[in-house]
């Protein structure tokens, strides 16, 4: 049986096309469709149900030391109210998950991918050893609403006690939202300015409806997972299970910035250091296609008719109105002359730099 977020009935009543994602029945898109939803987030604002994601709380005397051991990112120097992107690595340097670390007053909150939350929680406990920490899965206690788009601040500011004007990207504040305690962070997965609002799970439906009412005059609409994927892919953001996995390491995936080799021993450090010294053999790169070609995850990339890699994520970009792809290919290939195999035919691939579309997060 698929699981449901507290907004499931709302999505169904709204006529959403539902899809199974990470064990949850989630809205793929609403009546407007993926393209309109995507454009609304780029031009105005969209609301996302992110209640399927996991939250793991780590606290205790040695919480920072422990996290510096299990995570690739530097944790001990984080300040309260800061958010950092990190990876959970295996000893061999494979990636168990990518996640956001929220540094609160007396604890850390790890926000993890829905598909991996059980595995992450089990791994974190296995690696606990003698660290004096308490690890708690709060996935069923918290819900997240994403509010993304250039009008997000305009919509949210009047509704929270604290001003949002001074809240920078990758920062959060603890506030009240319609008298409910909430974490509001300036974070997201779309490349637009925006926020993620953490609430007690049972408070989500009422506040979701309230936000939509308040934002309606600004053009705020609900947005499904379909546009969430096209928005993140236009930015070139990794998606676990596509660009990152147990068999694709962070250096190949292009998220080496989240691996801090200059800190003491951490899980995966030796393996990743060896990989770094030897040099990676594969890399995630960005391609555009021409004409009526839409790259899809799993399509083969060829160089002079020899397979050299595979598309990890591909779609039609609503902003560029053409095919875009991330692909894992052998390192050191020529920039020109690579082709994509589409139903037995070879189509031209144009190498490009990320992001596909310029981001507008508020730094």
Partner 1 sequence: MAKVPSNLYYTETHEWIRHEGEKVVIGITEYAQSKLGDVVFVELPSTGDDIESGAPVATVESVKGVSEIYAPVEGSVWELNDELEDVPELINEDPYGQGWILSLRITDESALDDLLTAEEYQALLEEEA
Query: Which chain residues interact with partner 1 by CB under 8 A?
Result: 17, 28-29, 33-35, 226, 230, 292, 294, 296, 315-316, 318, 343
Q: What are phi and psi of 257, to 5 degrees?
A: -60, -20
Closest residue by Cα to residue 31 from 43, 15, 45, 46: 15
Provide the minimum distance between the beta carbon of 16 and partner 1 in the complex, in angstroms, as a whole number. Answer: 11
What is the per-residue DSSP string for 181-250? EEEEES--SSSSSEEEEEEEGGGHHHHHHHHHHHHGGGT-EE--HHHHHHHHHHHT---BTTTBBTTB-H
Q: How far is the CB of 229 from partner 1 (least distance, A)?
A: 9
Q: What is the DSSP letter of 105?
A: S
Instruction: State the nearest-atom distance from the C-beta of 34 to partner 1, in Å.
Output: 4
H or E element that contains 243: none
Residue placing its CB nearer to partner 1 in the complex, 262 or 345: 345
Nearer to partner 1, 45 or 227 (CB): 227
Nearest to 282 by CA among 243, 340, 232: 243
In whole angstroms, the minimum distance from the beta carbon of 38 to partner 1 comes to 8
Element (H, E) at 12: helix 8-13
Q: What is the DSSP letter of 250?
A: H
Nearer to partner 1, 31 or 162 (CB): 31
**Quick check: helix, strand or coil at residue 231?**
helix
For residue 355, is the peptide bond before it cis, meaning its omega torsion is within 30 degrees of 0? yes
Nearer to partner 1, 188 or 318 (CB): 318
Judged by beta carbon, residue 137 or residue 229, the one nearer partner 1 is 229
Render 69-103 in DSSP notation, one character per residue.
HHBSS--TTPPTTBEEEEEEE-TTS-EEEEEEEEE
Residue 29 or 84: the one with the smaller Cβ distance to partner 1 is 29
CB-nearer residue toward partner 1: 83 or 357: 357
Q: How far is the CB of 289 from partner 1 (least distance, A)?
A: 11
The structure tokens listed for 144 are: 């997240």
Q: Shortest distance, CB of residue 15 to partner 1, whole angstroms?
A: 10
Looking at beta carbons only, is 29 or 186 nearer to partner 1? 29
Q: How far is the CB of 23 from partner 1 (least distance, A)?
A: 20
Cβ(88)–Cβ(121) below 8 Å: no
**Shortest distance (Å) from residue 226 CB to partner 1:** 6
Sheet with 134-137: strands ordered across: 83-89, 95-103, 107-112, 54-59, 134-137
């Amino acid at each position: 049986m698929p699981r449901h977020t507290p907004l499931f009935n709302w999505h169904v009543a709204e006529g959403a096309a539902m899809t199974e994602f990470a064990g949850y029945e989630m809205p793929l898109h609403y009546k407007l469709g993926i393209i309109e939803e995507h454009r609304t987030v780029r031009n105005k604002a969209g609301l996302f149900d992110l209640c399927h994601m996991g939250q793991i709380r780590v606290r205790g005397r040695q919480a920072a030391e422990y996290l510096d051991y299990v995570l690739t990112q530097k944790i001990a120097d984080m300040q309260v109210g800061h958010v950092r992107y990190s990876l959970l690595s295996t000893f061999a340097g494979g990636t168990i998950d990518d996640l956001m670390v929220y540094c609160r007053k007396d604890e850390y909150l790890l926000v993890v991918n829905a598909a991996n939350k059980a595995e992450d929680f089990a791994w974190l406990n296995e690696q606990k050893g003698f660290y004096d920490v308490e690890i708690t899965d709060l996935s069923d206690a918290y819900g997240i609403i994403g509010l993304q788009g250039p009008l997000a601040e305009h919509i949210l500011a009047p509704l929270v006690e604290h001003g949002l004007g001074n809240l920078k990207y990758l920062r959060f504040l603890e506030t009240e939202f319609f008298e409910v305690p909430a974490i509001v962070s300036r974070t997201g997965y779309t490349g637009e300015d925006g926020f993620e609002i953490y609430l007690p799970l049972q408070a989500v439906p009422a506040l979701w409806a309230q936000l939509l009412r308040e934002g309606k005059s600004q053009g705020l609409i609900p947005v499904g997972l379909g546009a969430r994927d096209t928005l993140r892919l236009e930015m070139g953001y990794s998606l676990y299970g596509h660009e990152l996995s147990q068999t694709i390491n962070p250096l190949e995936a292009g998220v080496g910035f989240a691996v801090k080799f200059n800190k003491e021993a951490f899980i995966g450090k030796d393996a990743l250091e060896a990989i770094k010294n030897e040099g990676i053999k594969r890399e995630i790169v960005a391609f555009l296609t021409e004409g009526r070609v839409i790259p899809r995850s799993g399509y083969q990339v060829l160089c002079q008719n020899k397979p050299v890699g595979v598309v990890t994520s591909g779609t039609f970009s609503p902003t560029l109105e053409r095919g875009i792809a991330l692909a894992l290919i052998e390192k050191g290939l020529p920039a020109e002359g690579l082709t994509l195999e589409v139903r037995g035919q070879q189509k031209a691939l144009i190498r490009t730099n990320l992001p596909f579309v310029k981001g507008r997060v508020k730094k």
